Amino acid sequence: MAFTLPDLPYAHDALASLGMSKETLEYHHDIHHKAYVDNGNKLIAGTEWEGKSVEEIVKGTYQSGAVAQNGIFNNASQHWNHAQFWEMMGPNQTAMPGELEKAITESFGSVDKFKEDFSAAGAGQFGSGWAWLVKDKDGSLKVTKTENGVNPLCFGQTALLGCDVWEHSYYIDFRNKRPAYLTNFLDKLVNWENVASRM
């Protein structure tokens, strides 16, 4: 099926007071995400992947151990990543639901330790990529990081929370201060109810 750019689930300026400006979302959603959609549609046209779901394309085109991934994978995975990312944030700060807080505490020792590990993963990702909270195949929760557009689907994991650490996600608002962006993301932008719903 053709990729389509989803509408943001909130207005472009809805996160501005929480640290993600209207300008960032205009560039990030309207230009960067749209480019993954448009390029992905061009690349899958006339191939075996035309008509497949985004998830099938990501899993089917990922090349484990490859130095660089192929164009179809890069655009499909980044389309999927961003579609999740918009939903994982929100303008209405929500408390972490009890079920999620319990699972995080069991896995990391405390919510603060989880946030510390997540921020360290994002800050430590060299170059472009993502930081993730995932539910692994065995049901345990883990913090991971991936390069470029690689995501948890590639490893049979469930993405509960993802943070884009490509510079286009934070440079307008935070310049080169990626750790500050990650702290702000966790403290002010995450829609914890959305995260819990993915469990």
| Phi, psi (rounded to 5 degrees) for 164 | -75, 120
**SS3 (DSSP) at 142:** strand
Q: Is 164 annotated as a binding residue?
A: yes
Helix (H) or strand (E) holding 147: strand 141-147
Judge contact between 91 and 19, C-beta under 8 A.
Answer: no
Query: Which residues, 6 or more positions from 40, have their beta carbon under 8 angstroms from its beta carbon?
Result: 3, 72, 75, 76, 79
Q: Is 33 annotated as a binding residue?
A: no
How many Cα neighbours within 13 Å face the side chain of 51? 3
Q: Is 79 annotated as a binding residue?
A: no
Q: Binding site residues, as ranges?
A: 28, 82, 164, 168
Q: Binding site residues for Mn(2+), as ranges?
A: 28, 82, 164, 168
